[in-house]
Structure 1
Amino acid sequence: MSPKANLPTQKVQLKSQQVDLILQPLIANDIQENLTRYDELFVTYSLSVVDRDSVVKSAHGTRYLGKVEKGAKISLDSIPGLRLDVKEGQKLGIQIALWEIDDYSKSQKFLNKVSSYSEALQIPLAFVEWSSVSNPLGWFLWGTRLSSVGLDFLASLDRDDLLGISEVVWTWEDLSLQNRPRIKRIQWKGKDSAINSFHYEFGYEIKVKDIVK
């Protein structure tokens, strides 16, 4: 027997990092609804951990922002952020979307359901393939597909209600770079016409902390 066969097997412990998503103020430089002189908005945001092209964990949040007039600056400090742990070799998906709705009461049922899923959701490995998520709505629906809430969302909203969406993928190497900027600024602009013109500025910050076990 080889001497190496008697050596105890050493368990390799993977590194992990704690990632926090923090929303920054929303600025309405221009709005879409010129007749009512306000846009009725809500924001959806999510973090998803991807391992070998499959989503293994996801956290979601939504917040109704109310009737927003041109020139308004909305502080989002009171909105709970999101937190997930990412292991070495995994990827982190970040999605934030801004929606304009005609009647909040029609979407309130959906938002209430999503609130019950706001904590991290454990999704079976290979439940949904990363490569198959080509529709922007798919990002936010990763976790909600565990129930019928995703279908309710599609039924209550029209694709035209989506004012803007930001999707970013961070690799483990990206998260490990200490000097990488952690704040992302977003510009959402409508068509160059008097009817559908709008301009929103938004941003978020991610904080990364090494987890020592």
Structure 2
Amino acid sequence: MTDMEGVYRDAVTTRLMRRMGHALEHDLKSPVQGIYWALELALKSVSAPGTDEKTRAQVEKAVTMARKELTRLERTSRAFLSDSGISEGEGETRIDLSELTRETVRHFVTDAAIRNVRLTVDVPTEPVYVFGPRAGISQAVLTCVLHSLDSVPDGGTAEVVLKANGTHAMIEIVDDAGEAAEGQDPFGLGVLGMRIARVFVEGHGGEMKSAPAPEGGRRSTCLKLPVETTAQPA
């Protein structure tokens, strides 16, 4: 398959995934609402006088856990559909880069395990806010993580670290791959993806650099974005 054929294939796949994403967003609403109702009925069933206290406690604990998982499902699934470009984003907004980076990497943990690559993420516990289109920023991070996984040899490691100061946030991906994207096929899909990510990041006031590994060292890819410092209303 030529590079152009690959680009066309990926464009068609993305279009199909976007249509499926819209259907998935719609289809999530009914079953999730139905599960919430079922949980309410479960609570009512053990609230009647005479119910065994141990049974009531077990049901209440199970309902609490289920509600937390449903909340996580709704938040992460819809966000990931948007972040991946499968569904439409909401334009420019204030984004917690810590949460976005952590969730993006989390979606690749299984992929990394299949490739026999150890993938880790280290982000601040406090939010790190940047301003811009969430889908575009997430796709830049996603592209860099995927490029790292594609490049790291079997048994290697890739570490994603987010650091922030008063003016900028920097995501650094350090891995065991040998050469930077610039040293690979300039028309390969992976390199084109990295070039698109760089154009997007630099177009929003940031920087993106990829350095090949020095002898006996590790490769580094950095995305740097200005921090959003505007005070938010209480």
TM category, shorter: under 0.3
Q: Please report the TM-score for the alignment, with normalisation by the length of structure 1.
A: 0.23
Q: Whose strand fraction is larger, Structure 1's or Structure 2's?
A: 1
Structure with higher Rg: it is 2
Q: Provide the TM-score with structure 2 as the length reference.
A: 0.22
Question: Greater helix percent: which structure?
Answer: 2
**Larger relative contact order (C-alpha < 8 A, sep ≥ 6)?**
1
